[in-house]
Amino acid sequence: ITHPLPSLQEVGPTMVGDEHSDPSLMSFLGATKRNMLGNNFSEYYVNEAPRVVLNKLESCGYRVVSMTGVGQTLVWCLHKE
């Protein structure tokens, strides 16, 4: 038995990096660095849909290696060729 997922009308933010990410790549993506209350780490995010971010990363030589879902979160693993 399968249950169709409801259509999602909202997208974002898209998390694109952590505190150790390349600052020049984060700048290229237009990412903003933030520290969420209660977390002891920073993260970079953009307010664009994942497909827009993935297209930008592809233009820099990154390729999707795998993708999985964790709850309502999608996670992509990329590799730079």
State mean pLDDT over 16-44: 92
pTM: 0.77
32-43: pLDDT as tens digits: 999 888 888 899
**Whole-angstrom distance, CA of residue 44 vs CA of residue 32:** 5
DSSP state of 53: H
The CATH homologous superfamily of the domain defined by 14-80: GTP cyclohydrolase I feedback regulatory protein GFRP (3.30.1410.10)
61-77: pLDDT as tens digits: 999 999 999 888 889 99
How is the chain split into domains, by residue range?
Answer: 14-80
Which residue is it, tokens 């993260």?
A: 43
**Whole-angstrom distance, CA of residue 26 vs CA of residue 43:** 10
Find the largest Cα–Cα distance for the chain.
46
